[in-house]
Amino acid sequence: MTASISDALLDWYDRSARALPWRLPPGEPLPNDPAWPYRVWLSEVMLQQTTVAAVKPYFETFTRRWPTVEALAAAGEDEVMAAWAGLGYYSRARNLVKCAREVAARGGFPDTEEELRALPGLGAYTAAAIAAIAFGRRAVVVDANVERVAARLFAIAEPLPGARKAIRQRAEAITPDARAGDFAQAMMDLGSQVCTTKAPRCLLCPLSAQCEGRAQGIAESLPVKPPKKAKPERRGTAFWIERVNGAGAEVWLVTRPGRGMLGGMRALPDDGWSARADGSGEAPVTGVAEELGAVRHTFTHAHLTLSVRRIEGEPGGEGEWWPVERLDEAGLPTLYVKAARLALARED
Ligand code: SF4
């Protein structure tokens, strides 16, 4: 049965694999090119908690600008952070630079799951995915898609996270020795295209004959998830401080501390909301203030309402004057793009 599952899935993948910029066509031999593991690694880091559609343009930009791991290792962290802006989960970008430097210093990517796991920013899933996809190693690659397919295929009704052990054992049992990378990607494709969270398309599924969840009529309810915790509401304030000189209008930007939320990113100065649980705080700048409104943003752990206030006065502390006309090149994370848009709309 386990061999027939992997055979059926690989046959389906040969016919239906998604063409993605970081992927080889099914069955194609692995290229003997050091840029290959680099592309797999870069795509896997970008895809963590991020959709394929969102990743594609960033992947194109990064590989055009930094075609090898050595090129990325030689880039400034601020350049990489700015290029990453908008993709979210910014600790990934910081680890990306660290990892690229470590890999370049050791002369290339290691090819075992264990050694990959020791690199900055690589968890169990990413290390397994790179070992399988970039190097053809047999590795058990379990992301949310694979988790869903395995829970349904084997009717694992125990709630998450407790079910993870059984899911992993089952995924292990159906992973073939050959074509490990194709198998991992086939499971991911099946989960995202066919065995979808809502309304799985069992009629089109290559595994429908073997699927216990479908046979028992419980597939859509699996995997059983623990109840969601309500996200806390937080509040904060960002400050729009502008001056006009011979070069045109400029706005005061700061670089956020390296550690913590949105660490190392350029941003509007704020009242330190991210360091507090309740969002209360004092402005780090003084002067006449005008309320411009507020923007909403949702992080993985909280909702934030960020008030935007225009300050007429001189900024304090470290920062830089940035031309308003070139604000799109500053690499602001999405939260501050929203705040800047609000301030500019109010000016209009
Ligand atoms: Fe998922 Fe349905 Fe296929 Fe089972 S038969 S793996 S539930 S799509």
The answer to whether 289 and 283 are in contact (CB under 8 A) is: yes
- Per CATH, domain 233-347 is 3.90.79.10: yes
C-alpha–C-alpha distance, residues 267 and 78, integer Å: 12
Domain 233-347 in the same topology as domain 2-221:
no
pLDDT for res 3: 65
Q: Can you give the residue ranges of every domain in the chain?
A: 2-221, 233-347
> Which residues line the pocket of ligand 1, CB cutoff 6 A?
149, 152-153, 194-195, 200-202, 205, 207-208, 211, 213-214, 219
pLDDT value of residue 90: 85
Sequence-distant (≥ 6) Cβ neighbours of residue 61 within 8 angstroms: 83
Could you identify the atom of ligand 1 that is nearest to the CA of residue 148? 1
What's the pLDDT score for residue 173?
A: 96
- Residue to mutate (ligand 1; options 156, 214, 216; most atoms within 8 A of CB): 214
What is the predicted pLDDT for the residue at 248? 87
pLDDT of residue 260: 78
User: Which residues are known catalytic residues?
Assistant: 44
Going by alpha carbons, the residue nearest to atom 1 of ligand 1 is 195
Give the pLDDT of residue 276.
64
Residues of the chain predicted below pLDDT 70: 1-3, 275-288, 348
Query: Is the alpha carbon torsion for 72, 75, 81, 82 positive or negative?
Result: negative
Pairwise CA distance, residues 68 & 157, whole Å: 44
Distance CA 205, CA 199 (A): 12
- What local confidence, expressed as pLDDT, does residue 237 receive? 92
Q: Which atom of ligand 1 is nearest to the CA of 201?
A: 8
What fold characterizes domain 2-221?
Endonuclease III; domain 1 (1.10.340)
* Spacing, Cα 214 to ligand 1 middle (Å): 6
Label the pairing between strands 303-312 and 248-255. unpaired
pLDDT of residue 286: 63
289-328 per-position pLDDT tens digit: 789 999 999 988 899 999 999 988 788 788 999 999 999 9
Q: Evaluate the omega torsion of the peptide bond into residue 223 and state whether it is cis, within 30 degrees of 0.
A: yes
pTM of the model: 0.80
The predicted-structure confidence for 250-298, as pLDDT tens digits, reads as follows: 999 999 987 778 888 899 999 888 766 544 445 555 666 789 999 999 9
